[in-house]
Amino acid sequence: MNIEELRDYCLSLKGVTEDFPFDETTLVFKVIGKIFCITDLKDKFSVALKNDPEKNIELREEFPAIKPGYHLNKLHWNTIEIDGSIPNDLLKNLIDESYDLVVLKLKKEDVAVCFDRV
């Protein structure tokens, strides 16, 4: 996966927007204003994603390219180096899981608007 594919995939998810809230190189994807994916356009290609703390430990043990979240809560976030060692299907699944975790914590009225259930 390259940055364009990552961007296209994230933006294909319902209610997702992109933003540069930290600086001009840190691209952030949000659903209803809540971050679920972070990548840096300047440095080595990596992506930060949320996941269940127990699953994060398992992923880090199984894949050397998956490390505790850089400058993030290491319990809930992983930084994944996109170096070809992580299959695209797994990366997409991890993006979906991060997105789903954020959506689950949204207010019901925000979810209704996001998913056109008003």
Ranges of each domain in the chain: 3-110
With a cut of 80, say whether residue 9 has pLDDT above it. yes
What's the rounded mean pLDDT across residues 24-45?
A: 92
pLDDT at 94: 97
Positive or negative, the Cα torsion across 84, 53, 20, 15?
positive
**Inter-residue contact 31 to 15 (CB < 8 Å):** yes
Whole-structure pTM value: 0.90
pLDDT more than 70, % of the chain: 92
Q: What is the DSSP letter of 29?
A: E
Q: What is the reported pLDDT for 90? A: 95
Can you state the angle between helices 88-104 and 3-12, rounded to 10 degrees?
40
Q: Give me the residues paired with residue 28 across strands.
A: 19, 38
Q: Which CATH number fits domain 3-110: 3.60.150.10, 1.20.1440.230, 3.30.420.110, 3.90.1150.30?
A: 3.90.1150.30
Q: Contact at 8 Å (CB) between 19 and 7? A: no
User: Maximum CA pair distance of the chain?
Assistant: 44
**Tens digit of pLDDT for each residue in 15-27?**
899 999 999 999 9
> Residue 115 above 70 pLDDT?
no
